[in-house]
Structure 1
């Protein structure tokens, strides 16, 4: 029995990937939360501007990735590729550049009052994003995407957000960013499980291709555990306030992710859902971690 083709609205939702934008928002939430805990203040206008800029910059990266992947042929069978859906590769390319310019303009507006170092850090993040998929580098094809993702969405982004709020850097913010960097890299890691055949055909040596789906599935619990350990251990050494232990509740979405991948890693049509479970873990671990810093400030103020 022949499977019916996906409905157009589902293809567009899959192409635009709205849940994916939590990876852009969470560094702003976490960096602002740490700043609030340390200063009891938050500049909401700056946080909102930074959040909008982060979404625009991630849109640039996603659009460019579709355009660059189309040039290698790796997305030939990907029905929800924006290039395949629209047939306008160069229009998407220039839309991506417009999105980047708007995003950087918002960052420049923040930097004008808070310090130009912020713009410099975000430009480094953009460079890492380009190195991931952009020619002639295409470091993602060499299996280095997760290593680029970690600093861009972890230490660099969180430090830039913290600086935009306080005008300085913080070792606490840097430590806090490690957990977020790992969980965001896991989203990229899990997005490769269902496309091993396409990656192999295009010569892309993603970590899943190198490890195989079974070994990669076995590695996943360790990576999730490391994400939570980078929260728990600093709590024990009083680097983070005790209230941030609420983030450890995210062990439940982590467990759901690991169980799902363990049982479906070799079924591409099924395991494609793993990237959304990884986003679920990234979102809840980051949000609860951030909430812990806010609660800690509120509790200390009430004492």
Structure 2
């Protein structure tokens, strides 16, 4: 059966399962880390950028696929029609597809480390993968204890940007770490927003997500502070001289932040209405990250 012959509802389920918008979390660390490296050293290696980007996409795909497998084990996805396990009815197949994606992604990072005769980059990415596994994988399942956002921040912020920056110039940068805080923050915001519509399922599976712990009303009240910190930190780093003035382009993403806050505060306790807030968070993450990197390039 071809994709064209699938009913529209099936197409939507498969697109929701594959999660194309979520791959911005793979793109942004590569873009911003490379942009900071260029701004500070005027050095840029296109093949490393392209290899790292492809590897990052494969590793994020592994994370998404394996999370469906591990969620199927706990039963938290029993009402999730767009789970890959539920769509295929073949959990072992999805498990091994995920492992294959991870293997290919790690091969790409190994190629970079091999070329540089330096294990630093592969070491950082393996640490990212280990933390990513601990988020949902047994016996850890730290995401069920409410630690998912912190893991997400560390992996897609300081660890990922440090690996990318190092892959370009084989050194370290405090400015890059400052940029990593902003990228990690907006990445964690996506995960935070994904919990608002699934409180009942999380409670039933014993998952103590931040929204389960806080409640949807207090979670919605926290959003303006989280979004505001994105712009406050950028302004602070500009005033301190760490970021070039051009990084204030990030403020052009402010409409997405306002839309996200208003949407969640209006519908926080209505799962069907609030479920799309994570896609607004993705738009904020992608737009702010692209503008941040552009600011470094122009600066």
**Structure 2 length normalisation: TM-score?**
0.96
Shift, 1:295, TM fit: 0.6
Is 1:61 aligned to residue 63 of structure 2?
yes
Aligned match for 2:52, one of 50, 61, 76 = 50
Q: 1:176-215 residue pairs with structure 2 within 5 A?
A: 176-215=179-218
Could you tell me which residue of structure 2 aligns to residue 40 of structure 1?
A: 42
Shift, 1:112, TM fit: 1.1
SS at match of 1:24: helix
Q: How many residues align?
A: 292
- Counterpart CA distance in 1 for 2:178 and 2:261 is 25
- Counterpart CA distance in 2 for 1:163 and 1:265 is 41
- Counterpart CA distance in 1 for 2:243 and 2:103 is 36
Could you tell me which residue of structure 1 aligns to residue 26 of structure 2?
A: 24
- Counterpart CA distance in 2 for 1:41 and 1:243 is 19
Is 1:230 aligned to residue 233 of structure 2?
yes
Shift, 1:209, TM fit: 0.4
| Post-superposition CA distance 1:89-126 (Å, at most 9, x none) | 01000011110010000000011123210000000100
Q: Which moved more, 1:242-251 or 1:65-74?
A: 242-251
Shift, 1:234, TM fit: 0.7
Shift, 1:232, TM fit: 1.1
Aligned match for 2:294, one of 275, 286, 291 = 291
Kindly indicate whether the alpha-carbon contact (under 8 Å) linking 1:154 and 1:180 is maintained by their aligned counterparts in 2: yes
* Segments of 4+ moved more than 6 angstroms: none
Could you tell me which residue of structure 1 aligns to residue 175 of structure 2?
A: 172
- Counterpart CA distance in 2 for 1:38 and 1:111 is 22
- Counterpart CA distance in 2 for 1:89 and 1:109 is 31
Could you tell me which residue of structure 2 aligns to residue 156 of structure 1?
A: 159
Shift, 1:242, TM fit: 0.6
SS at match of 1:239: coil
Shift, 1:41, TM fit: 2.4
Kindly indicate whether the alpha-carbon contact (under 8 Å) linking 1:244 and 1:289 is maintained by their aligned counterparts in 2: yes
Could you tell me which residue of structure 1 aligns to residue 258 of structure 2?
A: 255
- Counterpart CA distance in 1 for 2:231 and 2:92 is 42
In structure 2, stretches of 5+ residues that fail to align are 1-6
Could you tell me which residue of structure 2 aligns to residue 301 of structure 1?
A: none
Could you tell me which residue of structure 1 aligns to residue 124 of structure 2?
A: 121
Q: Which moved more, 1:32-41 or 1:199-208?
A: 32-41
| Post-superposition CA distance 1:137-177 (Å, at most 9, x none) | 00000000001000100010001000000011111101111
| Post-superposition CA distance 1:42-79 (Å, at most 9, x none) | 11110011011001001111111000000110000000
Shift, 1:6, TM fit: 7.4
Is 1:246 aligned to residue 253 of structure 2?
no
**Structure 1 length normalisation: TM-score?**
0.95
In structure 1, stretches of 5+ residues that fail to align are 297-303
| Root mean square deviation, CA, Å | 1.0
Q: 1:96-135 residue pairs with structure 2 within 5 A?
A: 96-114=98-116, 115-135=118-138
- Counterpart CA distance in 2 for 1:13 and 1:289 is 29
- Counterpart CA distance in 2 for 1:124 and 1:6 is 40
